[in-house]
A and B are shown apart, each in its own frame.
Chain A
Amino acid sequence: MWGVIYVLPWLIGFVLFFFIPLLASLRYSMSTIQANAEGIAIQFNGVANYIQALTVNTSFNRALIEAITDVLINVPLIVIFSLFLAVILNQKFRGRAVARSIFFLPVILASGVIMTLESTSLIEAVNQSSTGGSALGTFELENLMVNAGVSDWIVTYLSSAVDRIYQIVSQSGVQILIFLAGIQTISPQLYEASKMEGATGYEAFWKITFPMVSPLIFVNAIYTIIDSFANNAMTELIRDTGFVKFDFGLSSAMAWVYFLAIAIILVIVNIIFSKRVFYQD
Chain B
Amino acid sequence: MTTSRLLSLEHWKGWLWAMIRFVLITGLSFVILFPIFQKVSTSIKAKGDLYSAVVVWIPQNFSIDNFKEAIRVMDYWATLFNTFALSATTTLLTTASCALAGYGFARLKFRGSNWLFAGVILTILVPPTTILIPVYLNLKSFDLMGLMTLITGKPVNLLNTYWPFILTAITANSLKAGLYIFIFRQFFRGIPKEVEEAAYVDGAGIGRTFSRIMLPNAIPSMVTVMLFSFVWQWNDSFYTTTYLTSSKVMSTQLSSLPYNLAQQVTDGAASQADPFYLSMIQDTGILLAILPLIVIYLFVQRYFVESVERTGIVG
Contact = CB atoms under 8 A, between A and B. Distances in A.
Interface of A: 1-7, 9-14, 16-22, 24-25, 28, 39-40, 85, 88, 91, 93, 97, 99-114, 116-118, 120-124, 126-127, 165-166, 169-170, 177-178, 180-182, 184-185, 201, 215-216, 219, 226, 229-231, 234-235, 238-239, 242-243, 248, 251-252, 255-256, 258-259, 262-263, 266
B237 A111 contact: yes
13 contacts: A14-B116, A17-B167, A40-B137, A102-B33, A111-B236, A113-B237, A113-B255, A116-B255, A180-B309, A229-B127, A234-B129, A242-B132, A255-B127
Given A108-B297, A184-B309, A7 B125 contact: no
Question: What range describes how many residues of B lie at the interface?
Answer: 35 or more
Interface in B236-269: 236-238, 242, 251, 254-255, 257-258
A106 B137 contact: no
Contacts of A1: 110
Interface in B103-151: 103-105, 107-110, 113, 116, 119-120, 122-138, 141, 144
A55 B123 CA distance: 30
Nearest first, the 3 closest Cβ-Cβ pairs linking A and B are A13-B171, A6-B104, A3-B108
Nearest to B155: A39
Contact of B32 (A22, A112, A117, A170): A170
A217 to B, nearest CB: 11
B171 A21 contact: no
A127 B56 CA distance: 9
A265 to B, nearest CB: 11
Contacts of A24: 134, 137-138
B18 interface: yes
B29 A13 contact: no
Contacts of A9: 97, 100-101, 170-172
A97 B305 CA distance: 9
Interface stretch (B20-28, B73-81, B82-90, B191-199): B20-28
Contact of A127 (B38, B123, B132): B38
B282 interface: yes
Contact of B125 (A102, A127, A166, A262): A262
B219 interface: no
A109 B293 contact: yes
A259 B132 CA distance: 13
B31 A166 contact: yes
B29 A103 contact: yes
A266 B126 CA distance: 11
Interface of B: 17-18, 21-22, 24-25, 28-29, 31-33, 35-36, 38, 42, 97-98, 100-101, 103-105, 107-110, 113, 116, 119-120, 122-138, 141, 144, 167-168, 170-173, 177, 181, 206, 210, 228, 231, 235-238, 242, 251, 254-255, 257-258, 275-276, 279-280, 282-283, 286, 289-290, 293-294, 297, 301-302, 304-305, 308-309, 311, 313-315
Contacts of B136: 242-243
Query: Which of A116, A122, A219, A234 has most B Cβ within 10 Å?
Result: A122
Contacts of A259: 126-127, 130
B110 A235 contact: no
Contacts of B297: 101, 105, 108
A216 B314 CA distance: 7
Given A177-B308, A178-B314, A181-B314, A262 B127 contact: yes
Contacts of B308: 177, 180-181
B171 A99 contact: no
Nearest to A118: B35
A112 B237 contact: yes
A110 B255 CA distance: 15
Contacts of B181: 10
